[in-house]
C-alpha cells in the first residue's frame, strides 16, 4: 500500500533541513535523493510503503542528541529505524518526517563475563552478540527468526522474543539497561549492569515502546552460559488438536522446555521442500520440543515428553542424536517465513498471543476463516507461550486480495483478544494493529498510555501515527508537567 507523496511544503523545506542535519552528521550521512530514499520506504511489513522526506545517519550519541534537538526546534517529525526487519510497520517513514537510521551504531563495547552482561550499540545484529562470546561458552538468549539480521535496538523497541522465549524470556527479561536520547536532545541512562534497579520500572516502560519515547543509543543485555546439554524432540501428530493437547500436557506436567514450537501441514511441507529438515510429511502437525540442562535431567525430561506425546496420539517421535540434528530441526522452524515465499507470491505474517488452553479452538477457527476468505494459511506458533504466527498466503497482483488478506488478519487478531489473549506477542502494534487497539483497550486506557508518551515527547514528534488509533494533543489529556518545582494543581497541599 503506497502512502501519499510529500506535499509542496515538505519539498520546499527539505533542502533547509538537509543542510541543518548535514552540519551535524556530515553531508555524506544525509540522504535526500529519491533513489537513496527508496531503500527506506518500508520495513519487513512490505504491504505499506512511504518515501521519507529525508534520512539521517548519525554516528554517535552526541550526534543523535543534536539531530533530535534540531528537529524539536524546527518541529520536524522523526522516525527511528534499526535494521528494517520489523513486521508491524513500526519503522514506516513519514512523508514530512526524518527517518533516523542507526545502522552506524554497530559496535560491541564490552562483554563482562563476571557480571554476565554485554554492552552494545543498537545497530548490532542479534546473532552477532552470541557469536562474539561463543568461544567463551556464553550467549544471548532471545533469538527471533530474523536474528541474523535484526538489530538489538529494534528488539528492544518491539520487545522481541524467539523460539527459546518460553524458558528464557523475551527481550524485556534479558535487558539490563539502556542509554536513550529524548526528543529535546537530553541523554538519559536507565538501569545498568545490575540485575535490578530501584524506583519506577522505566526500563520496562521503554521496552516495547516502538520508538515513541526516545532513541536508544546503547543497550546492556544479560548473557547466559550455554547449557551443558540440549536435545530436541520432533513429534508428529495426526491433527492440530492432538498437538495442542500435547502442548498443554507438557506444561501441565511442570516441564518448561527451552522451546516448544508447533507447525501445521502446509508449513511442514513448505519448510521440508525449502531446507530438508527431516520433518514427517505424513503429519498434520509437528511439535519441536527442546530440553536443556544437565545430561541426566535432559534424558529424563525427554522420556517424559515422549510419554506425554504418545498419550496424545503422536504418530512419530524422534530425539536429536547430535548437535547437527538438533540444529537441523530448528533450521526448519526458523526457515518457515522464507519457505512460505516459495509457495505463494506474497504472505502476510500475523502475530497474536492466546492462552495455551485455547490453542486447538483458535487453530480450528483460523481454518474456518481460511475457507471463508478463500485464502490459504500456513501456521507456525511459539506454542509454549501461546504466541501465534499464522502466515496468510495471497497474491498482491490480484485486485482486492491484499485487502481481503488484511481483513482476515484483523479477524484473527480479534479472535485472539476474544479468547483472552492480546494483539501482539513480539512484532509490536505499529500501523498494522493500530486500528485494532480499541478491541483490547478502552478509550480511558488509551488516553492513559498517551499520557506516558506526552511525558517523554510533549510535541509528539517521535514516530507519530503508530500504535494509537487517535492521537490526542497532550493538552487535551491533562498532561502533568512539573515546572519550576511547582505542579499545575494549586489546590493540592504543599509540604
143-155 confidence digits (pLDDT tens): 998 999 999 999 9
| pLDDT at residue number 486 | 44
Mean pLDDT of the chain: 92
Asked if 271 and 277 touch (Cβ cutoff 8 Å), the reply is: yes
271-283 confidence digits (pLDDT tens): 999 999 999 999 9
Question: 48 pLDDT band (50/70/90 cuts)?
Answer: confident
Pairing of strands 97-101, 54-56: parallel
What domains can you pick out in the chain, each with its CATH number? 8-101 (3.30.43.10), 108-225 (3.30.465.10), 229-432 (3.40.462.10), 443-495 (no CATH)
88-131 confidence digits (pLDDT tens): 999 999 999 999 999 999 999 999 999 999 999 999 999 999 99
310 pLDDT above the threshold of 90: yes
Q: How far is 84 from 103, CA to CA, in rounded Å?
A: 10
Lowest mean pLDDT across 101-115, 185-199, 229-243, 297-311 = 185-199
| pLDDT at residue number 470 | 83
49-81 confidence digits (pLDDT tens): 999 999 999 999 999 999 999 999 999 999 999
List of residues 6+ apart from 172 with CB closer than 8 A: 159, 203, 204, 207, 208
Helix (H, G, I), strand (E, B) or coil at 375: coil
Asked if 6 and 51 touch (Cβ cutoff 8 Å), the reply is: yes
DSSP per residue, 122-166: TTSBHHHHHHHTGGGTEE-----TTTTT-BHHHHHHHT---TTHH
Amino acid at each position: 500500500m503506497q502512502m501519499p507523496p510529500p506535499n509542496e511544503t515538505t519539498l520546499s523545506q527539505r533542502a533547509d533541513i538537509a543542510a541543518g542535519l548535514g552540519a551535524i552528521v556530515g553531508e555524506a550521512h544525509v540522504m535526500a535523493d529519491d533513489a537513496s530514499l527508496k531503500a527506506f520506504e518500508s520495513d519487513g511489513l512490505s504491504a505499506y510503503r512511504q518515501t521519507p522526506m529525508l534520512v539521517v545517519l548519525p554516528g554517535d550519541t552526541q550526534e543523535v542528541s543534536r539531530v533530535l534537538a534540531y528537529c524539536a526546534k524546527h518541529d520536524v517529525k522523526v522516525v527511528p529505524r534499526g535494521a528494517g526487519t520489523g513486521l508491524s510497520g513500526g519503522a514506516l517513514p513519514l512523508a514530512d518526517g526524518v527517518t533516523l537510521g542507526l545502522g552506524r551504531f554497530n559496535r560491541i563495547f564490552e562483554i563482562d563475563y563476571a557480571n554476565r552482561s554485554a554492552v552494545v550499540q543498537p545497530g548490532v545484529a542479534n546473532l552477532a552478540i552470541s557469536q562474539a562470546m561463543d568461544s567463551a561458552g556464553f550467549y544471548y538468549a532471545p533469538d527471533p527468526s530474523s536474528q541474523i539480521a535484526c538489530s538489538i535496538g529494534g528488539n528492544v523497541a518491539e520487545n522481541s522474543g524467539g523460539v527459546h522465549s518460553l524458558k528464557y524470556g523475551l527481550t524485556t527479561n534479558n535487558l539490563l539497561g539502556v542509554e536513550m536520547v529524548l526528543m529535546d536532545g537530553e541523554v538519559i541512562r536507565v538501569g545498568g549492569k545490575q540485575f535490578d534497579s530501584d524506583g519506577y520500572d522505566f526500563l520496562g516502560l521503554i521496552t516495547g515502546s516502538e520508538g515513541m519515547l526516545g532513541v536508544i543509543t546503547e543497550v546492556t543485555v544479560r548473557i547466559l552460559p550455554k547449557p551443558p546439554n540440549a536435545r530436541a524432540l520432533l513429534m508428529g501428530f495426526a491433527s492440530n488438536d492432538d498437538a495442542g493437547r500435547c502442548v498443554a500436557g507438557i506444561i501441565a506436567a511442570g516441564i518448561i522446555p527451552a522451546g516448544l514450537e508447533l507447525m501445521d501441514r502446509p508449513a511442514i511441507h513448505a519448510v521440508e521442500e525449502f531446507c530438508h529438515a527431516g520433518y514427517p510429511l505424513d503429519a498434520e502437525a509437528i511439535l519441536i520440543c527442546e530440553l536443556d540442562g544437565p545430561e541426566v535431567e535432559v534424558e529424563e525430561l525427554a522420556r517424559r515428553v515422549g510419554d506425554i506425546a504418545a498419550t496424545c496420539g503422536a504418530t512419530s517421535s524422534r530425539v536429536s542424536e547430535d548437535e547437527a540434528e538438533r540444529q537441523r530441526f530448528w533450521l526448519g522452524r526458523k526457515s518457515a517465513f522464507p519457505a512460505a515465499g516459495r509457495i505463494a507470491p506474497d504472505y502476510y505474517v500475523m502475530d497474536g498471543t492466546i492462552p495455551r488452553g485455547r490453542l486447538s479452538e483458535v487453530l480450528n477457527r483460523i481454518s474456518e476463516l481460511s475457507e471463508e476468505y478463500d485464502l490459504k494459511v500456513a501456521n507456525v506458533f511459539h506454542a509454549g507461550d501461546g504466541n501465534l504466527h499464522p502466515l496468510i498466503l495471497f497474491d498482491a497482483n490480484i485486485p482486492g486480495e491484499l485487502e481481503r488478506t488484511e481483513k482476515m488478519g484483523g479477524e484473527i487478531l480479534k479472535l485472539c483478544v476474544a479468547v483472552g489473549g492480546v494483539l501482539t506477542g513480539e512484532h509490536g502494534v505499529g500501523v498494522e494493529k493500530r486500528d485494532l487497539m480499541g478491541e483490547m483497550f478502552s478509550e480511558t486506557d488509551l488516553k492513559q498510555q498517551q499520557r506516558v508518551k506526552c511525558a517523554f515527547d510533549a510535541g509528539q514528534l517521535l514516530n507519530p501515527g503508530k500504535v494509537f488509533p487517535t492521537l490526542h494533543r497532550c493538552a487535551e489529556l491533562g498532561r502533568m508537567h512539573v515546572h519550576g518545582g511547582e505542579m499545575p494543581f494549586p489546590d493540592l497541599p504543599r509540604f
